[in-house]
Amino acid sequence: MTAIAERTSTRYPDVRNYIGGAFVDGNAGQYLDVTNPADGSVISRVPLSAAGEVDRAVQAAKKAFPGWSATPLKERVQVFFRYKTLLEENIDELAALVTEENGKIDSEARAEVLKSAELTEFACSLPQIVAGEVMEVSRGVECRVERYPIGVVASIVPFNFPNMVPNWTIPNAIALGNCMILKPSEMVPLSAGRIAELLREAGLPEGVFNDVHGGQSTVEAICDHDGIEGITFVGSTRVAKVVYRRGTANLKRVLALGGAKNHLIVMPDAEPEMTSSNVVASMSGCAGQRCMAASVMMAVGKSDHIIERMTAIVRAMVPGKHIGPVISREAKQRIESYISEAEKGGAKVLVDGRNFVVPGKENGYYIGPTLIDYVTPDMRIAQEEVFGPVMTIIRAKNVDEALSVQQKSRYGNAASVFTESGGVARYVMEKASAGMVGVNVGVPVPREPFGFGGWNESKFGVGDITGRGSIEFWTKSKKMTTKWNKEAGVNWMS
Ligand code: NAD
């Protein structure tokens, strides 16, 4: 059994669903091409699964649930100790797959797989973390809380981290006793098949993890299926709202992470070398296709020396070598139109990544890293998610003016301040309207046990998707009160 069917003339055969421990063809017979963004070549085809295939996966997961949920947590995490080792042992191949389907450069793809291993490490510590909530409430009377898995759950993921984002949910949800259906992005479906193979190799029983590939109608079938108790979603705000509304209307618990527009506030006292390199890395890493990428730099006061340094760093970057392509031709066109519109509106393009061609990869979807100065807060590029290697610079007179732009954003994933002043740093950390804030850090991703999750329209639902914050989502608690003494007396609580 392999992740992919035997036929086809593409580099990889057709992607297959993984249901009940076996790779199976999609019944619906509808396929979409999978493209390598670096050269535009079609590398595989992905099935667009219909409600019937979602149901097959749910039935397989339901069948596996009684056995898996009754397995002690200590035994369940043994699978993830082995899975973590397998991720590390197979990093060359897993990273190459990410590069091929998503386009990110090798070092970024490796970092993504290493982060998956780190996330799995957290799941391995769950027995210690969920242990013990017991209280003596009276003589011989105690209350305790125990956690139970919620059942069959679904995880719907985006294109930008084909290996890591699935691993935000797989280790914790499954180690806590749930059975899962993963719905990978139809643009990057290859990594999910290898993840299924590695979980099987690690000893995960059949049916506990399933892949169902597809797009909108597959997601709708997940939201509507009675057998699914909980859904996590990671992707754009537009679709996060759809999934949150439809899933909760069907009485499921839903946690839906949406898009982002992250502001970096750069104060004039910021250390110039560190600040400029961190700001550029934040906006250009993974070609700007990170929900934690800096998108707006609020340049406070006299910060021209930092902008000049950033310009030099950006000019020295070589697309194809230091920065990969964006995901699709449509994404490239969308990003370039944001730049053109801002320029027409009076902004100054300091470094222009439009119409960038990488020799030998003329059909790739490359955009060079771009810096645009003198953007005003009312411009579309200042307000909407661009999701490309573009830094919009807005000038501000003081920290409050900079903060007020950040606070008005509809999103609230991340925000950072670059300064040498502890007082200013603390002020921004308190006032920023975002779920993840940083000081002198361009990409303030919290490490587990802290959970990943934003505010405002960057997240719908309660809790975080990783770390300790995810435990509440993946489990239901049972509160137990016991009395083991022979006293017959009662009080008003009895
Ligand atoms: P997307 O919203 O287009 O797709 C996400 C998932 O939803 C995919 O599996 C896709 O098949 C499905 N989908 C797409 N359209 C749908 C529809 N109309 N109805 C139902 N399902 C649909 O997102 P994307 O382009 O794959 O990923 C990029 C987005 O993800 C960005 O907005 C980025 O900020 C966001 N993102 C957010 C986080 C976070 O933690 N907040 C993390 C990573 C990515």
The answer, yes or no, to whether any atom of ligand 1 lies below 6 A from the CB of 330, is no
> Do residues 183 and 156 lie in contact, with contact meaning Cβ atoms separated by under 8 Å?
yes
For residue 485, name the pLDDT band (cuts at 50, 70, 90).
Answer: confident
The answer, yes or no, to whether any atom of ligand 1 lies below 6 A from the CB of 286, is no
- Specify the DSSP element, H or E, that contains 326: none
Q: Where are the beta strands (DSSP E) in 301-413?
A: 348-351, 370-373, 390-396
The answer, yes or no, to whether any atom of ligand 1 lies below 6 A from the CB of 471, is no
Q: What is d(CA 295, CA 288) in angstroms, rounded to the nearest whole number?
A: 8
Residue 233 alpha carbon to ligand 1 centre in Å = 8
Q: Which atom of ligand 1 is nearest to the CA of 291?
A: 34
- pLDDT reported for residue 488: 79
Q: Give the residue, out of 30, 234, 390, with the most ligand 1 atoms within 8 A of its beta carbon, to mutate for a pocket test.
A: 234
The answer, yes or no, to whether any atom of ligand 1 lies below 6 A from the CB of 32, is no
- Specify the DSSP element, H or E, that contains 170: helix 164-175
Residue 484 alpha carbon to ligand 1 centre in Å = 52
Phi, psi dihedral angles at 106 (to 5 degrees): -55, -45
Q: Where are the alpha helices (DSSP H) in 269-371?
A: 272-284, 304-315, 329-344
> What's the maximum distance between 2 C-alpha atoms anywhere in the chain?
87
> Do residues 270 and 306 lie in contact, with contact meaning Cβ atoms separated by under 8 Å?
yes
In sequence order, the 6+-apart residues with CB closer than 8 A to the CB of 426 are none
Closest CA to 18 of 43, 49, 42: 49
> Do residues 73 and 63 lie in contact, with contact meaning Cβ atoms separated by under 8 Å?
no
Assigned token pair, 202: 């690690």
User: pLDDT tens digit string along 215-265?
Assistant: 999 999 999 999 999 999 999 999 999 999 999 999 999 999 999 999 999
The answer, yes or no, to whether any atom of ligand 1 lies below 6 A from the CB of 259, is yes
Assigned token pair, 169: 């949910």
Let me know how long the chain is.
494
User: pLDDT tens digit string along 98-114?
Assistant: 999 999 999 999 999 99
User: pLDDT tens digit string along 44-77?
Assistant: 999 999 999 999 999 999 999 999 999 999 999 9
Residue 465 alpha carbon to ligand 1 centre in Å = 15
Q: What is d(CA 110, CA 379) in angstroms, rounded to the nearest whole number?
A: 36
Which residue matches tokens 């300091």? 350
Q: Where are the alpha helices (DSSP H) in 327-374?
A: 329-344
- pLDDT reported for residue 138: 87
The answer, yes or no, to whether any atom of ligand 1 lies below 6 A from the CB of 460, is no
Q: Which amino acid is at 132?
A: G
The answer, yes or no, to whether any atom of ligand 1 lies below 6 A from the CB of 183, is yes
User: pLDDT tens digit string along 362-382?
Assistant: 999 999 999 999 999 999 999
CB crowding 418-452: b at 16 or more within 10 Å, else e: bbeeeebbebbbebbbbbbbbebbbbbebebeebb
Q: Where are the beta strands (DSSP E) in 95-140?
A: 134-138
- pLDDT reported for residue 493: 66
Phi, psi dihedral angles at 35 (to 5 degrees): -115, 145
Phi, psi dihedral angles at 314 (to 5 degrees): -65, -40
Q: Give the residue, out of 188, 291, 450, with the most ligand 1 atoms within 8 A of its beta carbon, to mutate for a pocket test.
A: 291
- Specify the DSSP element, H or E, that contains 360: none
In sequence order, the 6+-apart residues with CB closer than 8 A to the CB of 215 are 32, 48, 186
Question: What share of the chain in percent tops pLDDT 90?
Answer: 93
Residue 237 alpha carbon to ligand 1 centre in Å = 8
- Of 35-39, 276-280, 385-389, 482-486, the poorest mean pLDDT is in 482-486
> Do residues 389 and 370 lie in contact, with contact meaning Cβ atoms separated by under 8 Å?
yes
Q: Which amino acid is at 102?
A: N
The answer, yes or no, to whether any atom of ligand 1 lies below 6 A from the CB of 474, is no
- pLDDT reported for residue 427: 98
| Nearest protein Cα to ligand 1, atom 42 | 291
Is the predicted pLDDT of residue 4 greater than 80, yes or no? no
Residue with more model confidence, 185 or 138: 185
Q: What is d(CA 133, CA 142) in angstroms, rounded to the nearest whole number?
A: 10
Q: Which atom of ligand 1 is nearest to the CA of 159?
A: 26
Q: What is d(CA 159, CA 34) in angstroms, rounded to the nearest whole number?
A: 12
The answer, yes or no, to whether any atom of ligand 1 lies below 6 A from the CB of 307, is no
Is the predicted pLDDT of residue 28 greater than 80, yes or no? no
For residue 2, name the pLDDT band (cuts at 50, 70, 90).
Answer: very low
Is the predicted pLDDT of residue 431 greater than 80, yes or no? yes
Is the predicted pLDDT of residue 29 greater than 90, yes or no? no
> Do residues 449 and 129 lie in contact, with contact meaning Cβ atoms separated by under 8 Å?
yes
Alpha-carbon radius of gyration of the chain: 24
Instruction: Give catalytic status of residue 286 as yes or no.
Output: no
Is the predicted pLDDT of residue 131 greater than 90, yes or no? no
Residue 187 alpha carbon to ligand 1 centre in Å = 11
The answer, yes or no, to whether any atom of ligand 1 lies below 6 A from the CB of 235, is yes
User: pLDDT tens digit string along 290-346?
Assistant: 999 999 999 999 999 999 999 999 999 998 999 999 999 999 999 999 999 999 999
- pLDDT reported for residue 7: 46
Q: Where are the beta strands (DSSP E) in 192-338?
A: 209-211, 230-234, 253-257, 262-266, 294-300
Q: What is d(CA 272, CA 37) in angstroms, rounded to the nearest whole number?
A: 34
Interhelix angle 237-249/216-224, nearest 10 degrees: 30
Is the predicted pLDDT of residue 483 greater than 80, yes or no? yes
> Do residues 31 and 45 lie in contact, with contact meaning Cβ atoms separated by under 8 Å?
yes
DSSP string, 59-72: HHHHHHHHHHHHS-
Return the DSSP state at 456.
G
Residue 92 alpha carbon to ligand 1 centre in Å = 27
Q: What is d(CA 371, CA 315) in angstroms, rounded to the nearest whole number?
A: 10
Mean pLDDT, the chain, as a whole number? 96
Is the predicted pLDDT of residue 452 greater than 60, yes or no? yes
Is the predicted pLDDT of residue 3 greater than 90, yes or no? no
pLDDT, average across residues 72-94: 98
pLDDT, average across residues 166-192: 98
Residue 350 alpha carbon to ligand 1 centre in Å = 30
Closest CA to 347 of 383, 387, 299, 393: 393
